């Protein structure tokens, strides 16, 4: 059976390990592959999910050249594993590449301590990808250990995601408090807070009408306040929570100020710069990349905006 047929459920894990090599080596040198799966779209506009889907599909067709490239890059990335196997195998036979069969006892010796050193998942993948001739009972055990490790990892990731979601919602509620302050001042209800190490270091809400300044968006005021508070324009390792998808102006300011992450609530269909109108955050930046999470407490933020503009329309009719 082909290696990638055996490892079908593990292909995303394999590709994740060589994601940089895929983007920097394989895709630029494979124009036919690029055209087949992505047309004329530039590399910097392709998402990781799209890349993995294309490579997984192509590997499933049995493209031998691509299979060999993926295997070689993955094994190269795990040189420590290769050295471990080469050392133990050479003790059995100096010409270990000629070994065609390994007993269970020999396999146990080769594997002793390997799962603890390299992890059960990588150990199993290496055994298959590098064609190690373990007895079937050993390969079955390695697969069971890898499956158990993957399930445990998925549970841990799910718990971490749940915790992060709770954190995001907590700080977004603080941003919504700022948005309500703007609402009370007859400003478009957008609010923002900047968070560092779990603490809010700056707050801001829309003040365009009050200041008669088109740049007085909640995010811009929050960035200025934070820089003043810490005495540094670089807002590294900080997260900005905003109730509305940032516009192009705010997106530029977030990139320039080195904000690490942005979390927004409601999309801005007219001016949103995270995909609703344009997607500046998707473009490859020469110095900085901002992590984005959208649609956090979207319904609450959108309801606030809807209520605000509905009241404006009703007052306009009365007037």
Catalytic residue positions, numbered: 219
Pairing assessment for the beta strands 261-266 and 238-244 based on DSSP bridges? parallel
Closest by Cα among 44, 45, 56, 43 to 16: 56
Q: How far is 141 from 104, CA to CA, in rounded Å?
A: 12
Categorise residue 206: left if φ over 0, alpha if ψ from -120 to 50, beta otherwise: beta
Going by the DSSP 8-state scheme, the letter that residue 274 receives in this structure is B
Q: Both tokens of residue 181?
A: 């302050």
Q: What gap in Å lies between CA 202 and CA 204, rounded to an integer?
A: 7
Show Cβ contacts of residue 151 under 8 Å, excluding neighbours closer than 6 positions.
none
Identify the helix (H) or strand (E) that includes residue 264: strand 261-266
Q: How far apart are CA 174 and CA 180, in angstroms?
A: 10
DSSP string, 84-107: HHHHHHHHH-TTGGG-----HHHH
Q: Please report how many Cα atoms fall inside a 13 Å half-sphere around the Cα of residue 189, on the Cβ side.
A: 23
Could you give the strand order of the β-sheet that contains 191-196, starting from the edge strand earlier in sequence? 199-205, 191-196, 238-244, 261-266, 291-293
Query: What is the Cα–Cα distance from 91 to 110, expressed in whole angstroms?
Result: 10
């Amino acid at each position: 059976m082909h290696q990638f047929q055996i490892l079908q459920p593990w292909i995303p894990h394999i590709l994740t390990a060589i994601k940089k090599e895929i983007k920097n080596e394989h895709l630029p040198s494979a124009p036919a592959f690029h055209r087949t799966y992505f047309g004329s779209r530039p590399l910097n506009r392709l998402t990781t999910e799209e890349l993995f889907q294309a490579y997984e599909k192509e590997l499933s067709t049995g493209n031998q050249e691509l299979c060999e490239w993926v295997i070689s890059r993955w094994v190269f990335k795990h040189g420590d594993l290769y050295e471990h196997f080469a050392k133990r195998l050479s003790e059995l036979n100096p010409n270990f590449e000629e070994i065609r069969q390994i007993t269970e006892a020999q396999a146990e010796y080769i594997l002793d301590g390997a799962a603890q050193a390299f992890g059960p998942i990588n150990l199993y993948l290496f055994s298959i990808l590098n064609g190690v001739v373990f007895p079937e009972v050993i390969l079955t055990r390695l697969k069971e250990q890898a499956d158990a490790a993957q399930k445990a990892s998925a549970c841990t990731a799910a718990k971490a995601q749940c915790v992060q979601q709770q954190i995001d919602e907590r700080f977004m509620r603080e941003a919504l408090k700022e948005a309500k302050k703007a609402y009370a001042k007859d400003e478009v209800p957008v609010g923002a807070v900047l968070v560092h190490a779990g603490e809010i270091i700056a707050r801001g809400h829309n003040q365009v009408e009050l200041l008669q300044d088109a740049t007085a968006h909640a995010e811009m005021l929050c960035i200025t306040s934070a820089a003043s508070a810490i005495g540094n324009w670089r807002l590294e390792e900080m997260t900005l929570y905003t109730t509305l998808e940032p516009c192009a102006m705010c997106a530029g300011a977030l990139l320039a100020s080195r904000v690490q992450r942005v979390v927004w609530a409601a999309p801005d269909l007219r001016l949103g710069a995270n995909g609703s109108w344009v997607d500046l955050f998707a473009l490859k930046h020469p110095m900085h990349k901002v992590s984005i999470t959208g649609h956090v407490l979207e319904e609450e933020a959108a309801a606030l905006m809807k209520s605000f503009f509905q009241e404006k329309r009703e007052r306009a009719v009365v007037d």
